Amino acid sequence: MALKRKFVPKREKTSFPESWRRLHDAALASYRHSYAPYSSFPVGAAIETEDGSVYGGCNVENASYGGSICAERVAICKAVSEGATRVKRVLVLTPQKALVPPCGFCLQFISEFGSEKTEIGLGDLKELKSVGTMAEYLPNRFGSSHLAK
């Protein structure tokens, strides 16, 4: 008896594991809306919250530079504005083949809403290249426990 093939819709060919596909799709969709007229460096990001929701974000630059915001923080702000405050995974996409990790400001922001186990994936538009944890990226991070009560 021949096995029936399950219908699989066509999608862009990528090397993203199935477990990262929703994040990839959201990050890629956001990447396409990147506003990067000054750096010409578009970035797309997506986060997955502990309840499984996915939020995408892109970098948005500003002529004053200090008013710019990175894709990772846009995605987290979208999640927080919808009531989600626990980040499980983050994916950062850039057009470069080299690994491009979150900046220090974004790592601190991710740590506020994640944990030492929060996964951070890095990739280009078609391939997941690296996955690390918050503990690996920012081992001695500053947090609310350091603030005087």
- Would you please indicate which residues are annotated as catalytic (active-site) residues? 72
R_g of the chain computed on alpha carbons: 17
**What are the phi and psi torsion angles at 5 (to 5°)?**
-80, 135
Write the Ramachandran bin of 52: left for phi over 0, alpha for psi from -120 to 50, otherwise beta: left
Specify the DSSP class assigned to residue 124. -
Output the CA–CA distances (angstroms, integers) from residue 118 to 32, 49, 128, in the order listed.
Answer: 25, 10, 16
Evaluate the CA torsion angle 69, 73, 76, 81 in order and state its sign: negative
